[in-house]
Amino acid sequence: MRPLTIGRLLFRCGILAALLFVVVVIALKMGAVQVSLYGLGRDLLSVLLGQSSAISTDYGMIVVDIRLPRILLGIVVGASLSVAGASFQALLRNPLADPYVLGVSSGAAVGAIIALIIESHLALSPEIAGLITPFGAFLGAAVTIAAVYFLGRRDGQIDSSTLLLGGIITASFLSAIIMFLMNTLAGSNLRGTVFWLMGDLSTPQPRSLLYLLSFGFLAAAGAIYTTASDLNLLLAGEKEAMHLGVDVPRVRIVVYLAASILTGLAVSVSGAIGYVGLLVPHVMRLILAPTTGCCCPPPHSAGPSPSSSPIRSRAPLLPLLNSLSAR
């Protein structure tokens, strides 16, 4: 098996970036209104050059104001769930872990449903009403994060097994609350909740909320980046990682909070989109990381991995880690 060198890493990431660009172009072209590739490229270039006035009003509304924000939102949401999924799989040392295993999505769903119930009894402007559901979802996710954190503590520190068990119990309890609250919704609110639970990117989001989501993604992903090399060692076992100098309690807290914040932000604007955080990390392992037993893979397909350079920095330890992980 050939090692993953910098050249191979950049080549594979370049292919993934090209595939992402092709998907974006196809998504911009598809729809009820047909758009030519020449016109699409010309008008996107005008937008990049700051010459948006040269685009027709109807065309600009369809491509620039409707389709493009949805595509960018989908990219950020997918990257957030994928990074969170890879982090939880490394933190819990469970290949079946995903961003929703600790109940964050269920907490966000409860918060969104409560927000819909409150919104129906208030006379709010459309701008404020559009922020109620995402804010309620994120608040519900934040409360769930705090609850699972306290349930997962043992002797004052986070324990991986206890954290996983507490998350599963919390998710089951919140699922029962969701079923109860959905019986109190009527008409359009019920349909909107069902679509939200299925995952939906069609609802237009305010620009300020999108900027907040992007900033939160960069901050949380950056925090996970700082612990990527420690996560690689943590996969070999907690005791082995501590012997190699890893501050395991700090890594647990940082990764848990950052990955949970990523999940909460993504779920608050898109609903519960499943399987992304579970499947994408494993696909990236197959594509980018041959030594899957001792690395935290790059889960976003638009660029290099935040954890690929720590793999190289720990290269002298790879034989030791392989032998430890095989026990």
Q: Which residues of 259-274 are buried (b: 16+ CB within 10 A; e: fewer)?
A: bbbbbbbbbbbbbbbe
pLDDT at 301 over 60: no
Q: In the numeric block, which tokens belong to residue 312?
A: 């190289």
SS3 label, residue 23 = helix
Q: Token match 């949380």: residue?
A: 220
pLDDT at 315 (0 to 100): 39
- Domains of the chain, by residue range, sit at 6-325
- Judged by average pLDDT, the poorest of 178-182, 187-191, 222-226, 258-262 is 187-191
Confidence of residue 219 (pLDDT cuts 50, 70, 90): very high
pLDDT at 238 over 70: yes
SS3 label, residue 97 = coil
Q: Cα separation of 24 and 9, whole Å?
A: 22
Higher pLDDT, 105 or 189: 105
pLDDT at 126 (0 to 100): 66
CATH 1.10.3470.10 fits 6-325, yes or no: yes
Q: Cα separation of 61 and 56, whole Å?
A: 8
Nearest 10 degrees: CA dihedral of 60, 62, 66, 68? -70
pLDDT at 300 over 80: no
Helices then strands, each counted (H, E), the chain: 15, 2
For 26-65, the pLDDT digits (tens) are 888 887 777 777 777 777 777 777 666 666 666 767 777 7
Mean pLDDT across the chain, nearest whole number?
Answer: 77
Q: Cα separation of 211 and 180, whole Å?
A: 34
Average pLDDT rounded to a whole number, residues 177-202: 79
Average pLDDT rounded to a whole number, residues 116-131: 74
